[in-house]
A and B are shown apart, each in its own frame.
Chain A
Amino acid sequence: MDLLDDLVTLLPELILVALVLVIITVDLFLPRAEKWLLTPLTVAGLILAGAACFVVWDINETVYSGFYVVDDLSVFLKGATILTGILSALFAPAYLLVRRIPLGEFNMILVSALLGMCVLASSSDMITVFLGLELMTMPSYLLTGLHKTDRYSNEGALKYFLLGSFASAIVLFGVAWTYGLTGTTSVAGIASALDGEMSAGILVAMGFLTVGATFKIAAVPFHYWTPDAYQGAPTPITGFLSVGPKLGAFALLIRVFAEALEPLRADWLVIFLVLTVLTMTVGNVVALTQVNLKRMLAYSSIAHTGYIMAGLAAFANATDPGVAAQGIEAVLFYILGYAVMNIAAFAVVGMLQRDTTRFGGLNSFAGLATRAPWRAAAMAVLMLSLTGIPPTVGFFAKLYILLASVDAGLAWLAVIIVLNAALAAFYYLRVIVYMYMRDPEPEPAPIDTSPFGSVALALSVAGVIALGIFPGAVLRFLEESAASLF
């Protein structure tokens, strides 16, 4: 049996599993005043798991009877996953502690969600795809509802749970259909069994898989759960939810659509193009009208989903493998950059909610520049990055998507992306206007200045700028990751 020999390829996942167990156990013995120790513990564990990603880099093997593939693509996604985990674990404690939300459960559930995302990234079989999806979304429902005494948190969690399980069932139905048609659940097996031939059954299978998967990435018109779930969840957790499960769901899209259904990419491309355009336009237009920053960022995250989908569309439309790889690279870079800037942006909103009655309105940002100049500057950088202005990571992320679209012959899509980015500039820059050009409210919201949050904010902003100036630093990883698909 090579079950044990394969264990080493699971090193990052094994560390996460161990971390879950350690957190539960340590949480039992820590007195209340020392619960904050769980945060450095979790972060240390996550850094270890992140380091383990470098150990399994370049392995490129399919293990465990074809259920699991440890290729560079999966390892890159795992690294990005663990990064979102580290940032979330650092940002959340201050917000959670004033609301008496236990840190032990939070950290444990967060790490399990990360584990699910890692499984999803590495799955090379529809069974592992589905299990990874569930292991990712179940903790996400829990995280949304973590603030048990808050009505909005309950409402958001329930909506997320109901619609999310519905979407999971639809994915599963699609998987059942593909199995019936091809006689296999293996991603590679499905790809070779389909060989580009279209039939009614395949159409239905693809339809179910598309609906279920786009539900998970919150693409329009399957986005209705997003604003409520994002607004209800504790703010730093919203940052994680807007990035983590989306990262996992894009891993699913890559595995299912770019790999298993690759022979049919001309067919799903049409659906994807419609959804891409709808998603970014609706997301941006609705975000324009929001005065609650959490809701605004929720809708803007829908728009960003649209940009990332454009990268997949470029992959599907490309005839040349090099251009197709460029599409996947653009998707990966966007996910990475977006993860850092969005988690940090939500975290700043959360820092202004130290007073538990605050709901993250735009007004609480009025005059922030005079009250907390460093935080205001950080938020300004994040907003510029989300808009896509150089020298930030957001600029290069958009640029790569645009280049991939143009090279793949989708110039019109690139035009729509640019128009959308211009539209989005209005509501992102409005936050900067509020911070720098308005006077503070008469009774301004107290600001959280806990050290963990400040460190994480400084790191994220540094990352956003560093990747904006030297995007080449991750280029090698991107290229090798995308290469594992071809």
Chain B
Amino acid sequence: MSRSNSSTREPTTLDISSVLFFLLAAGVVGAGAAVVTLRNIIHCAVAMMICFGSLAGMYALLGAPIVAAAQVLIYLGAISVLILFAIMLTQAGDANLPAPFHRQVPIAVVVALAIIGLVGWAVVQTDWGLAAEAASAGVDAIATAIFTTYALPFEIISMLLLVAIIGAIFLARRPEEDERAS
């Protein structure tokens, strides 16, 4: 989506934002591929952080600084650190896990390439003019929108989080704590 965005602005010359875009894209795709192919789970986690970071850069490049900031704070900050902690606390010694789906690699590669081909073809074929118009939003505009236009979705998300928190606590609680609680 984003590629045609930048290319509609400057179709031929290789300006700085195009260079940045391709660097970041390489970061997202390369790190994404590393997450699913690396054997050591800590390496996977680090690759995932690179993927998240490049994506944040991509958002900033596309003129969505608030989304980029949220990406850094939530994904790069909170989620990645959480995952690293989870790995640290659950791994005993060797971090090299046997890959359970290893035998499906050839099929997976074929399917993935087919989907990339299909999606890539569709991206090139499609006129993305409408999306380019819609993009761009500043911090204050988002802040106003969340509490007016998007008030209802915002409240639905709060219910979703409430259920998620209670559910997570319930599942994580030890059975003997269940006994005490009930």
Q: Which residues of A contact B (CB under 8 A)?
A: 1, 3, 17, 20, 24, 32, 35, 64-65, 67-68, 100, 102, 104-105, 108-109, 112, 115-116, 119, 125, 127-128, 131-132, 134-135, 138-139, 141-142, 145, 148-149, 176, 179-184, 193, 199-201, 203-204
| Total residue contacts A-B, CB cutoff 8 A | 107
Q: Are A139 and B163 in contact (CB under 8 A)?
A: yes
Q: Are A180 and B128 in contact (CB under 8 A)?
A: yes
Q: Is the interface of A mostly helix, strand, loop or mixed?
A: helix
Q: Are B152 and A64 in contact (CB under 8 A)?
A: yes
Indicate whether B11 reaches chain A with its CB closer than 8 angstroms: no
Indicate whether B22 reaches chain A with its CB closer than 8 angstroms: no
What is the CA–CA distance of A119 and B182 in the complex, to the nearest angstrom?
Answer: 31
B170 partner, pick from A20, A105, A201, beta carbons under 8 A: A105
Q: Do A108 and B166 form a contact, CB below 8 Å, given A32-B182, A102-B178, A138-B160? A: yes
What is the CA–CA distance of A171 and B166 in the complex, to the nearest angstrom?
Answer: 25
Q: Are A20 and B162 in contact (CB under 8 A)?
A: yes
Near A by CB (< 8 A), chain B positions 107-148 give: 118-119, 121-123, 125-126, 128, 130-131, 133-134, 148
Indicate whether B175 reaches chain A with its CB closer than 8 angstroms: yes
Chain B residues in 8 Å Cβ range of A145: 171
A109 partner, pick from B130, B153, B163, B179, beta carbons under 8 A: B163
Chain A residues in 8 Å Cβ range of B150: 65, 67, 127
Indicate whether B38 reaches chain A with its CB closer than 8 angstroms: no
Q: Do A131 and B128 form a contact, CB below 8 Å, given A35-B182, A139-B163? A: no
Chain B residues in 8 Å Cβ range of A119: 156
Q: Which residues of B contact A (CB under 8 A)?
A: 1, 118-119, 121-123, 125-126, 128, 130-131, 133-134, 148-153, 156-157, 159-160, 162-164, 166-167, 170-171, 175, 178-179, 181-182
A138 partner, pick from B1, B122, B149, B163, beta carbons under 8 A: B163
Q: Are B119 and A112 in contact (CB under 8 A)?
A: no
Chain A residues in 8 Å Cβ range of B130: 180-183, 193
Cβ distance B90 to chain A, nearest Cβ, rounded Å: 15
A204 partner, pick from B118, B160, B179, beta carbons under 8 A: B118
Q: Are B122 and A203 in contact (CB under 8 A)?
A: yes
Q: Are B153 and A127 in contact (CB under 8 A)?
A: yes
Q: Are B171 and A131 in contact (CB under 8 A)?
A: no
Give me 19 other A-B pairs in contact (C-beta within 8 A), A105-B170, A109-B167 excluded. Answer: A1-B148, A100-B182, A102-B181, A104-B182, A105-B166, A112-B159, A131-B157, A132-B156, A135-B159, A138-B163, A148-B175, A148-B178, A180-B128, A180-B131, A181-B130, A182-B130, A183-B131, A204-B119, A204-B122
Closest to A199 in B: B126
What is the CA–CA distance of A149 and B171 in the complex, to the nearest angstrom?
Answer: 10
Cβ distance A20 to chain B, nearest Cβ, rounded Å: 7
What is the CA–CA distance of A184 and B126 in the complex, to the nearest angstrom?
Answer: 16
Closest to A122 in B: B152
Chain A residues in 8 Å Cβ range of B179: 100
What is the CA–CA distance of A323 and B159 in the complex, to the nearest angstrom?
Answer: 39
Q: Are A183 and B134 in contact (CB under 8 A)?
A: yes
Cβ distance A83 to chain B, nearest Cβ, rounded Å: 21
Q: Are B151 and A3 in contact (CB under 8 A)?
A: yes
Chain A residues in 8 Å Cβ range of B153: 67, 125, 127-128, 131
Closest to B126 in A: A201
Q: Are B163 and A135 in contact (CB under 8 A)?
A: yes
Q: Are A17 and B152 in contact (CB under 8 A)?
A: no
Chain A residues in 8 Å Cβ range of B118: 204
Q: Are A142 and B170 in contact (CB under 8 A)?
A: yes
Q: Are A142 and B178 in contact (CB under 8 A)?
A: no
What is the CA–CA distance of A1 and B148 in the complex, to the nearest angstrom?
Answer: 8
Chain B residues in 8 Å Cβ range of A200: 121-122, 125-126
Chain A residues in 8 Å Cβ range of B1: 176, 180
What is the CA–CA distance of A163 and B150 in the complex, to the nearest angstrom?
Answer: 29
Q: Are A68 and B152 in contact (CB under 8 A)?
A: yes
Which 5 A-B pairs give the minimum distances between C-beta atoms?
Answer: A183-B130, A201-B126, A200-B125, A64-B152, A142-B167
Q: Are A112 and B163 in contact (CB under 8 A)?
A: yes
Q: Are B128 and A64 in contact (CB under 8 A)?
A: no
Closest to B123 in A: A201
Q: Are A24 and B166 in contact (CB under 8 A)?
A: yes
Closest to A63 in B: B152
Chain A residues in 8 Å Cβ range of B182: 32, 35, 100, 102, 104
Chain B residues in 8 Å Cβ range of A201: 122-123, 125-126
Chain B residues in 8 Å Cβ range of A1: 148
Closest to B157 in A: A131
Chain A residues in 8 Å Cβ range of B119: 204
A65 partner, pick from B121, B131, B149, B166, beta carbons under 8 A: B149
Chain B residues in 8 Å Cβ range of A182: 130
Chain A residues in 8 Å Cβ range of B121: 200
What is the CA–CA distance of A479 and B160 in the complex, to the nearest angstrom?
Answer: 33
Q: Are B175 and A131 in contact (CB under 8 A)?
A: no
Chain B residues in 8 Å Cβ range of A20: 159, 162
What is the CA–CA distance of A136 and B35 in the complex, to the nearest angstrom?
Answer: 30
Cβ distance A78 to chain B, nearest Cβ, rounded Å: 15
Closest to B167 in A: A142
What is the CA–CA distance of A64 and B156 in the complex, to the nearest angstrom?
Answer: 12
What is the CA–CA distance of A139 and B178 in the complex, to the nearest angstrom?
Answer: 19
What is the CA–CA distance of A112 and B153 in the complex, to the nearest angstrom?
Answer: 15
Chain A residues in 8 Å Cβ range of B126: 180-181, 199-201
Chain A residues in 8 Å Cβ range of B148: 1, 3, 65
What is the CA–CA distance of A101 and B72 in the complex, to the nearest angstrom?
Answer: 39
Closest to A108 in B: B166
Chain B residues in 8 Å Cβ range of A138: 160, 163-164, 167
Chain A residues in 8 Å Cβ range of B149: 65
What is the CA–CA distance of A308 and B143 in the complex, to the nearest angstrom?
Answer: 42
